[in-house]
Each structure stands twice: as structure tokens, then as C-alpha cells.
Amino acid sequence: MDVRANQGSMLKLILLSILVPAVNLGLHFSIFLFFRSSDLPPVLNAVLAVIWGIFGIYSIYWSLNWVVEQYSDKWKERIIPYVFVGPAVLLLGWLLFLPTLRTLYLSFFNADSTRFVGLANFGAVFTDRLLLTALRNNLLWVVFGTLACVILGMLVAVLADRSSFERLAKAIVFMPMAISFVAAGVIWKFIYYYQPGDDQIGLLNAIMVQLGLQPQGWLSMVQPWNNLFLIVILVWMQTGFAMVIFSASIKGIPEDMLEAARMDGAGEVRIFFKIMLPVISSTVLAVTTTIIVFTLKIFDVVMIMTGGQYGTEVVATEFYRQLFMYQNAGYGSTLAIVLLIAVIPVIILNLRQLQKEGSF
Amino acid sequence: MAKRKHKAPKRKASWLVNTILAIICIIWFIPTLGLLISSVRPAADILQTGWWTVFPHRQWATEEQVKLPKDTDLRQPITVNGQTFSDDQLKAGVMQGDKRLVWENRRSRTVDVQDKKWSGMTLNFTTQNYETVLGGKQYKITQPDGTVKTEQGSGMGRSFWNTIAVVIPSTVIPIFIASFAAYAFAWLKFKGRRFFFVIVIALLVVPLQVALIPILRDYTALGLNGTYFGIWLAHTAFGLPLITYFMYNSISQLPRDLFESAYMDGATNFTIFSKLILPLSVPALASISIFQFLWVWNDYLVSLIFLGSQPEVQVLSMNIANMVGSRGSDWHLLTAAAFVSMLTPLAVFFALQKYFVRGLLGGSIKG
């Protein structure tokens, strides 16, 4: 009797486990088909699509969770983590991980991927003058770009916290983030624009002329400093990112903790280094990691401002050029892999930090 | 978890703090100001004078004109007011005492004698750039019979709604998926936890260009090209590593006893996640959603490849790019379009800014 009841509920569970994902799949596939063939007015179409997207993702998790809840406690514990990480792992596996493996594979082949060349591409990358410049420039981007973004972002976050115009200051520093790269390119052309003579429409050269100096071709002639002028654009755009995150985590520090230190007579600078910084150290690491990764992958700024000419090429622009313009899959893939290798130390540092915090 | 007042009493700001911050803000604002001013200037002005010339400033103003003899040889040194100059010097402008000499008209041999004068506020502003951008560029099409027809290109209205349909789900979906994953990575025990987490972190650095061609091939096979669903998936996958990493950072900082007591009370993981984790992570959620929103909003490459540029699905960034043309020479349109497309992200920022307040977590942060 007991066994049969058990078998009955087993059967029900198996049926549910198949049925619920199947219904999900069928339902969302038919909605997908509806949208693909529909000819609704734009506003209605957008609103419906947004509703589908938001409720769709919630209902998928909710229903899968509901199925797992029917299992026995032992199995519930085992399976629920996979329901939670499953979608992320599947999506990443399909859309990022497999393409990366394929890139790794292609990096051992020649330009049109027909002949195995071993490590020859890597040898070539590290001896080609252009690519070496790209690697050097990437290093400049990572070091100066990251340092400037993190320090300035922290400075603004801390200062804004005690200033009398916090909202305005944060909005101003954040604003460049809302600007697309194409638009930022135009904005900075109004700053760096160069033409011979006294009449300048670029702000920097107008200042030079006012000071009685020669106007400069900031992005083309003053190599390798032109890289720094490009980095300034990134710093202008990305400091807002660091600022917002830092600001949020500074606000998370309990006020009583700071107040206690003030009672003990600690100065504001000391409080910052001795109390604030240690408390938000994991946020600092997270922001630094993000910006390092971002600067390693830097592409748009360089492409729009100089197209990677005048000694400003970086790994991502060279990757793009090799893969899409010269059709050299071997070189292109190798460059992408070099980026991956370059970030390994940062990842190890992160994992070690997480381990220290005891969450791993 | 001590519940405290939302706003801690603000300490009096010192003038030093205010001054330093003000200087940084002014420097930060100058490029944006240039964009705003340029967007209301006529196209010809933008290319001739700097945007700051709308403010009062000293500039060369012609005082008198000197007519040289019609037969002056331009290849020889040219004598003006008793001094000799070369043609090239006069082309660029050359100083004579504190006056400046420059060709007014080379062919009629007229030279301007200029002096530095204060010029007031220039009020030569126009709304033409915005009208063109919002109404759509006019295309002149030469028809087979030789007549020229002017056709209005699609305006920003349609692509605005397309962008909404792309951006909002592309922000919500990855944040949802990533938060679930981050919760599992941080607080649940399962086989492969470490392995999967390391992979996710490592994928942070993969440039998305690596994935474009393989995904495009799969999408074509599955019929996902040019659909909202396809681009949601693409943006989700490209945003997931960073969002998971960030949410992990925030969720793993929450105190353990919080879950344990809830778990003892018989709450399921799903309930803990939606009733406890999500509300406690609001500041982190707010900031990361702003950034995902911005990245998707300003994205051009991913939409271009997976959505295409047909007007039915075209997004704003693509609309702007089309308007400007591939050479990016129509600066006056670009400035106006850039400003229009900035408005929505800024509105989102201001709307979410209220979540970045002190005390939302009370004393619950690990310290």
C-alpha cells in the first residue's frame, strides 16, 4: 500500500517534472511566434513585449521552483541550486563559453583555419610591431585608466557625501555615462580638434593659442601621449560608474561606527583610511576588477576617435581589424585569447579575496 | 538588525569639500556643456567657430580694409602699410604691431586690418537641428525620369518605442537571472559551485566580438535574427558575467543569521530570495540596473548585428547612426540627437537615485 502510494507520487513527480518545463517552452515559443509575425502599433508592441519579458522570466523561475518544491526534502535541497544557477549557466555556456572555446581552437590555426600551426600565432603576436604597440597601449589603458577612474570616483563619492550639493554633483559626474560612444566622440572632437592657424574650434587648442603656444594635433602627432588623451575620455565617461557604486557602499557604513571614531578624535582623512576603506574593500576590488576588464576590452573610444591610427591601436581594435577586415581568424583569435590570459591574475586575486571572506 | 532613521543628520559641509567638489564638477561639465550649446547652433557656425564663442569674449574684429593694387604679385613679398608679408602669412593672419592682417578677398586684393574687441553674447541659436532629428532626415531621391523627390526619413518616435521594447527586458531579465545565480553561488551548497563560479568570472573578460559570428550562425538556424527575443538573449548573456559578479558581491555580504532564522521558520529558498534577499539588495540592484540599462541603451554593435536596421525594429542608436551617415560629418545633427537620446537614461538615473540612500541596510552590513 505504502509502496504503491509512493510509486503513484513518484509518477506524478516525474510527470510534473516533464510537463512544467514543456508547458513553459510551448507557451513562450507561441508568444515568440506571435510577436515575430504580429503587426501591432509600435507603442502597444513595445508595452506587450516588456510585459512578456518581465513576467515571462519570473513565471519560469516560479513554476520550476514549484515543481522542485513537490520533491522530498532531500532531493529539494539537491536540485534547487541547479534551478537557480541553471538559466545563467546555460545561457553563458551557449552564448559566451562555447564561442570562447571555439576562439581558443582557432588560435592554433592559420588565417583561414585550414592548417594547424601550433603556437605560431602566439609567437607572431608577440613579435609583430603593431601588435606589440597594441599590447603596450592596453597596459597604459589598464594602469592609467583604472587608477584615475577608481581614485576620482572615490574622491567624488566621499566628497559628495559631505557636501551641500550631493545630488547635483553626482548627477554631473554621472551624466557622461548616459552619452553613447558616438556622441562622446563628437563632444571630444570639440575639445581636441586641430587645425593650423589661430582660429580653433577645439577648446584645448583655443587655450593653447590664447597662451601664445602652437596648436597641437592632440590625437595624432604627440605620440605616445595621444593615448593618454584618449584615456581621459574613458575616465570622463567611466568615473561615474565607480562613483555610483562607491557612493552606495559608503552609505552602507553604519553611521555609529564613524561617529564613534570621531568621538575618539580621529580626523576625517584617518577615518577614511582606517575605517571606511577596510569596510568597503570588497567593493573597491569589485569596481577595480570591472574597470580593468573594461579597459582591457576597450574598443569604441579608440575606434571612434582615431580608428586605431597614429600608434593608438589596442588589442580589441587589432582583433577587430584582423578578424573582420583582414579575415585572419588565426591572428584575431589569438589576440582575444591574449586578453583572456592577461586577466587571469585579476581573477585569481578576486577568488583569493572571496576565499578570505569565507564565502568559498 | 537595528532599524534607523532613513536620513542621518547631515554634518555641516566644509568650504574646502565644497570647493574641491565644485572644481571637479565644473571640469566634468565642460564637455557636456559643449554638446548642449553646439546642439542649438546653426550647422555652419559649428564648423567655423568654437562653441564657447557664444559667451562674451575677445575676438578679432575688422577695423578697416586696405585695398592693394590690383596687379600685386602674390608670389612676391606683399607690401601692406609699409611692411612686407608673404601670401601664406596673410592667409593665416599675421601681426603688425597689435593689429592683425588677413586676406578679406585674395582675388580683389583686399586685406582686413583687425583689432581685438569684446563681442557680446551671441544669440544666434536655432531649433532646426532638433526639428530635423525628431522629424527625420529628408532624403533627396532622384527618380528614373530625372525629377528629384524629397522623402522624409523615419523619425525618432518609432525607434524610441523599439528601444524601450529592447532595453527594459534586456535589463530586467539578466538582473533576475544573475541574482538567482548569485544567491545560489553565495549561500547554497551544490556540486560544481566553485567551477561554475570561476567560469562566470572568467567570462567577464571575453570581448563580445568573439561571440558575434557563432551566435549569428545559431540565430539564423533558429530564426531568432531580427526578433526582440533574440536580442534579449544576446544582451542577457553579454551582461550576465558582470551582473552576477556584482550581485554575488552584494548578496554574499549579507549576514548569515538572517537566512538561518528564516530557514528555521520553514521558509523555502525561493521565499527567502524574493522576500529577503531582493529587498535587502535594493541599492545594489538599483545601481547595476542603471548600468545595464545604459549599456543596452547606448549599444550599437549588438543591435546592428542581431536586430538589423529595418525601420520596424530599428533602435535609437541605429537611427542616430543612419542620420549622421557613415562619415559622421553632420555634427549639428549628431549633437542634437545625442542630447535627445541622453534624456531617458538621465531620467532613469534620477528616478533610481533615491535608492542610493544611507541606512537602507541599517546595521546589517558585515563590518
What tens digit of pLDDT does each residue of B119-141 get? Answer: 666 666 777 777 777 765 555 55
- Residues A243-274 have pLDDT tens digits of 888 887 787 777 787 788 888 877 777 888 88
Answer whether residue B335 is part of any domain: yes
Residues 6 or more apart in contact with residue A170 via CB below 8 angstroms: A156, A160, A243, A244, A247, B353
Whether B63 and B195 share a structural domain = no
Q: Provide the residue ranges of all domains of chain A, joining segments of one domain with +.
A: 2-106, 124-179+223-356
Whether B207 and B346 share a structural domain = yes
List the single residue in A45, A91, A333 with the smallest CB-CB distance to B236: A91
pLDDT band at A151 (very low <50, low <70, confident <90, very high): very high
User: For residue B46, which residues of chain A lie inside 8 Å, CB to CB?
Assistant: 201
Contact A197 B210 (CB under 8 A): no
- Residues B176-193 have pLDDT tens digits of 899 989 988 888 888 888
User: For residue A81, which residues of chain B lie inside 8 Å, CB to CB?
Assistant: 184, 188-190, 193
The last residue of a domain, from among B100, B119, B138: B119
Whether B109 and B163 share a structural domain = no
Decide if pLDDT at A150 tops 90. Answer: yes
- Residues B256-305 have pLDDT tens digits of 777 778 777 777 788 888 888 888 888 788 878 888 888 888 887 788 77
Whole-number pLDDT of residue A356: 72
Indicate which of A52, A89, A95, A356 best probes the interface with B, i.e. most B CBs within 10 Å of its own CB: A95
CATH topology of domain A124-179+223-356: MetI-like fold (1.10.3720)
Whether B94 and B163 share a structural domain = no
Closest Cα partner for B34 from A330, A179, A47, A48?
A179
Residue B78's beta-bridge partner residues?
A: B85
Cell of A65: 521552483
Distance from CA of A183 to the nearest CA of B (A): 5
Decide if pLDDT at A139 tops 50. Answer: yes
Q: So what's the ipTM on this one?
A: 0.80
Answer whether residue B62 is part of any domain: yes
CA dihedral B296, A235, A304, B209 (to 10 degrees): -50
Contact B177 A299 (CB under 8 A): no
List the single residue in B4, B25, B206 with the smallest CB-CB distance to A173: B25
φ, ψ (nearest 5 deg) of residue B152? -80, 125
Decide if pLDDT at A213 tops 60. Answer: yes
Decide if pLDDT at B20 tops 50. Answer: yes
Least confident segment among B155-159, B248-252, B360-364: B360-364
Whether B286 and B237 share a structural domain = yes
User: For residue B157, which residues of chain A lie inside 8 Å, CB to CB?
Assistant: 42
Rounded distance between C-alpha atoms, residue B343 and residue B347, angstroms = 6
pTM above 0.80, yes or no: no
List the single residue in A187, A197, A343 with the smallest CB-CB distance to B93: A197
Contact B28 A175 (CB under 8 A): yes
pLDDT band at A146 (very low <50, low <70, confident <90, very high): very high
Least confident segment among A113-127, B22-36, B205-219, B319-333: B319-333
User: For residue A320, which residues of chain B lie inside 8 Å, CB to CB?
Assistant: 209
pLDDT band at B174 (very low <50, low <70, confident <90, very high): very high
pLDDT band at B142 (very low <50, low <70, confident <90, very high): low
* CA closest to B270 among chain A residues: A65
Whole-number pLDDT of residue B143: 61
* Number of CB pairs, chain A paired with chain B, less than 8 A apart: 355
User: For residue A164, which residues of chain B lie inside 8 Å, CB to CB?
Assistant: 13, 18
pLDDT band at B67 (very low <50, low <70, confident <90, very high): confident
Contact A286 B193 (CB under 8 A): no
Cell of A77: 535541497
List the single residue in A98, A159, A253 with the smallest CB-CB distance to B214: A98
Cβ proximity of A71 and A88 under 8 Å: no
Whether B109 and B170 share a structural domain = no
The CATH number of the domain holding residue B241 is 1.10.3720.10
Q: Is B281 helix (H, G, I), strand (E, B) or coil?
A: coil
Whether B280 and B349 share a structural domain = yes
* CA closest to B331 among chain A residues: A186
Higher pLDDT, A151 or B279: A151
| Amino acid type, B209 | Q
Q: What is the domain extent for residue B98?
A: 56-119
Answer whether residue B49 is part of any domain: no
How many separate domains does chain B show?
A: 2
Q: Which residue has cell 520553514?
A: B266
User: For residue B338, which residues of chain A lie inside 8 Å, CB to CB?
Assistant: 179-180, 182-183, 186-187
SS3 readout for chain A: CHHHHHHHHHHHHHHHHHHHHHHHHHHHHHHHHHHHHCCCCHHHHHHHHHHHHHHHHHHHHHHHHHHHHCCCHHHHHHHHHHHHHHHHHHHHHHHHHHHHHHHHHHCCECCCCCCECCCHHHHHHCCCHHHHHHHHHHHHHHHHHHHHHHHHHHHHHHHHHHCCCHHHHHHHHHHHHHCCHHHHHHHHHHHHCCCCCCCCCCHHHHHHHHCCCCCCCCCCCCCCCHHHHHHHHHHHHHHHHHHHHHHHHHCCCCHHHHHHHHHCCCCHHHHHHHHHHHHCHHHHHHHHHHHHHHHHCCCHHHHHHCCCCCCCCCHHHHHHHHHHHCCCHHHHHHHHHHHHHHCHHHHHHHHHHHHHCCCC
Contact A84 B294 (CB under 8 A): no
For the segment A79-108, the average pLDDT, to the nearest whole number, is 86
Decide if pLDDT at B364 tops 50. Answer: no
Contact B360 A160 (CB under 8 A): no
Whole-number pLDDT of residue B137: 55
pLDDT band at A32 (very low <50, low <70, confident <90, very high): confident
Cell of A295: 579597459
Percent of chain B with pLDDT over 90: 2
Higher pLDDT, B41 or A174: A174
Higher pLDDT, A186 or B193: B193
Contact A178 B349 (CB under 8 A): yes
Answer whether residue B190 is part of any domain: yes
Q: Is B61 helix (H, G, I), strand (E, B) or coil?
A: strand
pLDDT band at B108 (very low <50, low <70, confident <90, very high): confident
